[in-house]
């Protein structure tokens, strides 16, 4: 089964509005990452939040992590038409600890459409 579940599956907003996407996971993680995918293209890394962090910012992106609820959220503020894409969370687990190879498991993604 998928480690990550994302909500909502699709989100449609107007330019200038904020977009919030949520991600849940099932097991303890080392970090959680968010990626963006334009239609028919590869994924691009947006931001990483470690298990001991609660919030992180990067430009118009804000990510939160609640390890007690096994959930994360990605907020895009003042959205633009160019933000239209699919957004994926990916949870990293390393059975042996540390950052040697573990497993990066992707959620099913949220399709964000920003209307001009």
Q: Which is nearer to another protein, 68 or 100 (CB)?
A: 100
With CA atoms as reference, report the closest residue to 21 among 63, 60, 58: 63
Give dist(CA 44, CA 49) in Å, integer. Answer: 16
Which residue has tokens 């894409």?
85
Cβ atoms 23, 35 nearer than 8 A: no
Q: Does 40 engage in binding with another protein (CB under 8 A)? A: yes
Q: Which is nearer to another protein, 1 or 68 (CB)?
A: 1
User: Smallest distance, Å, CB 58 to another protein?
Assistant: 13
**For binding to another protein (CB under 8 A), which residues are involved?**
2, 4, 9, 31, 33, 35, 40-45, 48, 88, 90, 92, 99-104, 106-109
């Amino acid at each position: 089964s998928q480690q990550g579940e994302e909500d909502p599956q699709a989100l449609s907003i107007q330019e200038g509005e904020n977009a919030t996407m949520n991600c849940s996971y099932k097991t303890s993680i080392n970090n959680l990452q968010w990626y963006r995918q334009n239609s028919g293209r590869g994924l691009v890394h947006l931001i990483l939040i470690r298990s001991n962090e609660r919030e992180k910012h990067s430009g118009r992106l804000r990510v939160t992590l609640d390890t007690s609820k096994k959930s994360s959220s990605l907020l895009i503020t003042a959205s633009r038409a160019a933000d239209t894409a699919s957004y994926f969370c990916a949870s990293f687990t390393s059975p042996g600890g540390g950052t040697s190879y573990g497993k990066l498991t992707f959620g099913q993604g949220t399709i964000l459409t920003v209307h001009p």
